[in-house]
Structure 1
Amino acid sequence: SAFLTLFDCFNRVSTPAAVPQDEMEATTISPSEVRGVVDGEDPCFLAKDSGVKCTSYSLLWYYRVDTGSCDRFWYGGCGGNANRFNSEQDCIRVCIDQRTCIPTTSGEGNDDAGSCYSFVLKWFFNKTQPARCTPFWYGGCEGNRNRFETRELCESICLPLAGQMLLQAHVTWKLWLLICNELNLPPHTPAPGCSQTVCIVFCLLSLGLPSDLLLAHLLPM
């Protein structure tokens, strides 16, 4: 059917059918209402839950595990779970920005217990060979962003990235072998950004790429 305006189309398609239009409100929910998180439970990996209607429906945000992104959904005002946020920015901050698998600043590649002493068991992504998620004791404050509540959470986020790193290493090696052959250069010619006196193997390792796809016969200068 035809719609008079884009607004009419959005209301017809995006609004839950059982909710009268006059009950729709773009209300916000306080952090205390949004949370209610059980200790050790990661809100970002809970299934979307619209709850039940007790006041009015609100258009909020939740984190989608399958896409790794934040999407909108209608929340009924009561019940549900902690995977809901007032804004896309809040969702991104909690479920995307606060997690990292590889260093973005000095020290983020390793476990960091922080400076407090209320120790709880956490997991970090250890990119040494073989890449894996490793437990460590976290003190409860500060530290870095390479920290996850459970092994499953760490692996679900970081192991796909490890696969991308392996692919990148393979492509890098293939590319440089081709360049060396074309230019008749020795196979230890350094990669961009590496010292002219450093073997390409150690150069690539210093860039965080895994070693198992690099040829063992690449010799240092």
Structure 2
Amino acid sequence: MRSDDFARSSFLFFFFFLGGPSPFWTDGPSASSQFVDMCSTFPAESESCGEPKRRFFYNTTSQRCEPFLHRGCTWNLNQFYTIEECQRHCGKIEKPGSCPPSPMVITTECLTGCMHDGSCPDDQKCCSFGCALRCSDPLKDLCRMPPEKGPCHANIQNWYYDWQTRRCKRFTFGGCLGNKNNFKKRKECQLRCARRST
């Protein structure tokens, strides 16, 4: 292991596991602020220490992981060996699929386990779980997906299939994105989902 690899690994171990703020497992509201702190700092400047090395940091202005030349021995948390590592910790990666509905009653401790899809393993998504965010398996069956208005501001009255009541119901669609549990006509909804659940 290279000396700078060892130094970074040791720093991260002591920082995350011996009392420093963690962007992954922390209580409630402080989770997002700690995530922002980690990803909003710029790479530390220090005296030249050996050959410049290509590293990556998260640029909050462009909202992208970008390369830079690391010339020193000093590390802060917004410095990564690969662009994949940077995206996993700071990039707002959106994985395909939809989150399952958040439970109505929470009986477990309110802990945040992720900040975005990129911090979840494999094809899991970062989903709302009552008072926190957790990595969850995405819904693959469109008929089980919750109604999703999307980010646009139209007020289109479409239909979605409610798996719990086994009925097609009206919902307001914003006009863009959303998920596939979205039908213009009730009959389309019934043909796609209702017959399968009987």
- TM-score range (shorter-chain normalised) is 0.3 to 0.5
The normalised TM-score by structure 1 is 0.39
Q: Rg bigger for which structure? A: 1
Normalized per residue, the structure richer in helix is 1
The normalised TM-score by structure 2 is 0.43
Higher relative contact order (CA 8 A, sep 6+): 2
